[in-house]
Amino acid sequence: MQKVVEYIQKIYNTTEFIPLHEPRFIGNEKAYLNQCIDSTFVSSVGQYVDTLEQEFAKYTGSKYAVATVNGTSALHISLLLAEVKQDDEVITQPLTFIATCNAISYIGAKPVFVDVDLDTMGLSPKSLKNFLENNCKLINQQCINKTTNKVIRACVPMHTFGHPCKIAEIKEICDNWNIALVEDAAESLGSYYKGRHTGTFGKLGAFSFNGNKIITSGGGGIIVTDDEVLARKAKHLTTTAKVPHLYEYVHDEIAYNYRMPNINAALLVAQMENLEKFLQSKRELADIYKDFFATLQMKFVMEPIESCSNYWLQAILFDNLEQRNQFLEYTNKNGVMTRPIWKLMNELEMFKYCQTENLENAKYLEDRIVNIPSSVRI
């Protein structure tokens, strides 16, 4: 463990505290922020919001993008646009950040948990298929859970640490069962599966620009879709459903104040300009870690087959929970921030009564995965 600490200190050329992931502001961030301030358009209307949405759609290969205040709000709106309603059910993975299940719960829907794949750490198409075949039936083109008699309206896979799950296979299964596919792509900007950017396989995809993401505006999120009607509806719902008018305040439905401020968008436009450089640095760091950990007991987590990962958070896999805990304690006490993977969602108090499939792989990973420092090195 001492060897690992010393090597990471060497990589980052410091013996000071090394965070798990910190942002890099090396471009036009200050210039664009100043321009935004000078324009006085610092709230939810301005040229940087428009520019961000256009550039992000172009980068991911989606037709439309709608900026939001954070990734959770992007996922919440995406689920609403996928017609998820109160008392519906949404299939997702138990190995994810809490925001995935929070967004489902905001609607009054309930998560159903199926297992993940060991190689992707994301939702397993095999587990999804088995669950649907064993527990569900199609009635009037609706997927009905035979155990609860509830409609399974959507499926939300998450691309864990930027490693794409088998999203094309998941989409095929969802299409066969008339289930809306909504991608939680919060962590996977710059990641591709079979040559296609994550977040673009489903009806909608949601990304995050939290302070620890590969590019950031401090907070922020974005919705992508190829459906013009859904894109317009997303923009309407995220701007309090205000009907355009020269001066009147008219709102035509209950909606949300979820639009990204122009001042945050200014930061992101500058960050987007260096995204490729950040991705290159991440991949170089992954290669360094791969060679180093090949000589040690723990295993470095590589991108899955047919994928190009952004390596947002680098991860290692231990043989057992005891080794994992010893490593976490030693590194954090010696100035190198490391973190375990999330506690399984079905083990949390608010989700422990949710229906689950066999979660053997998720539990295996929960006990063994650790994230190590992953900041861009420039």
pLDDT tens digits, the chain, 378 residues: what are they? 899 999 999 999 999 999 999 999 999 999 999 999 999 999 888 899 999 999 999 999 999 999 999 999 999 999 999 999 999 999 999 999 999 999 999 999 999 999 999 999 999 999 999 999 999 999 999 999 999 999 999 999 999 999 999 999 999 999 999 999 999 999 999 999 999 999 999 999 999 999 999 999 999 999 999 999 999 999 999 999 999 999 999 999 999 999 999 999 999 999 999 999 999 999 999 999 999 999 998 999 999 999 999 999 999 999 999 999 999 999 999 999 999 999 999 999 999 999 998 999 999 999 999 999 999 987
Residue 50 CA to its chain's centroid (Å):
22
Q: Using alpha carbons only, how large is the chain's radius of gyration in Å?
A: 21
**3-state SS string over 324-339?**
HHHHHHHHHHCCECCE
Q: How far is CA 246 from the centre of its chain?
A: 37
232 with 289, same domain: the answer is no
List the end-to-end C-alpha distance of the chain, in Å, as a whole number. Answer: 26
Tell me: do 171 and 252 sit in the same domain.
Answer: yes
Q: Tell me the one-letter amino acid at 301.
A: V
Domain with residue 42: its CATH number is: 3.40.640.10
Asked whether residue 377 is domain-assigned, the answer is no
Instruction: Look up the pTM and report it.
Output: 0.96
Asked if the structure places residue 239 within a domain, the reply is: yes
Among 186, 178, 216, smallest CA distance to 75 is for: 186
Q: What's the domain count of the chain?
A: 2
Domain extent for 228: 29-273
